[in-house]
Amino acid sequence: MAAPGCNATAASLALLPFAAAGAIDPEVVPVTTVVTGASGAGRGTATPLHFAELDANARPYKPAGTHRHLAEIEGNLGRATEQGRWLTTHAAFRPLAVSFTPQLAPMTRGILATCTFRPSGDVGEAELGELARAYYADEPLVHVQEELPEVKAVAGSDRTVIGVRHDARTGLCTAFAVLDNLGKGAAGQAVQGFNVAFGFPETTALELEGRWP
């Protein structure tokens, strides 16, 4: 059993409903930006993570296809596009190309993924929201809401919150996802996978609510 990295989890969960529904135009590469907290880099000593370097600062890192999580994102979405649900079989699939840029923000924990794509058909915000809600209807740790999600709402929890917007002016759609990179993005999803594999209730030993504020 394996779990994707925290950035890959956030971006994948934001886009999977639309990839599975064939709602992403394959001719236009989705653009994903992930804002992540410093704890995603671990606890090792590194100059860019010193308080004086990180405080009141923000910077991109490993852009232009160089981040190790990109292959996980593209693999998840490619499998979803070709098979409907990405875990149904282990058949061959083609990854769905994504432009991915992570950015380090001055916060301890949390991830905000902003994923913009062109829809393959004439759909609006209501239809997009319904696609996401239907896709995650049986997922107790993924919540789709009308309001735009915020990182603090999931701090200390093992859940993901998703919101969707449609830009009628450009025709582009944007899916947002927030999660705690130390919870749902790491240990939390490992426990969730253990629960599923060994027949325990999926939410056993997991936190369903964030510690707001």
CATH of the domain at 25: 3.30.360.10
- Has residue 115 been placed in a domain? yes
Q: Which amino acid is at 108?
A: T
Q: Band of the pLDDT at 115, cuts 50, 70, 90?
A: very high
pTM over 0.85: yes
- Has residue 205 been placed in a domain? no
Per-residue pLDDT tens for 165-185?
A: 999 899 999 999 999 988 888
Q: For the chain, what is the domain count?
A: 1
**Alpha carbon distance 121, 37 (integer Å):** 35
Domain interval for residue 64: 6-197
Three-state DSSP state, 178: strand
Range of lowest pLDDT (32-36, 59-63, 131-135, 138-142): 59-63
In degrees to the nearest 10, what's the CA dihedral of 189, 190, 192, 196?
130
- Has residue 164 been placed in a domain? yes
- In the annotation, is 115 catalytic? no
Determine which one of 6, 141, 173, 182 is catalytic: 6
Instruction: Please name which of 129, 164, 119 lies closest in space to residue 22, comparing C-alpha atoms.
Output: 119
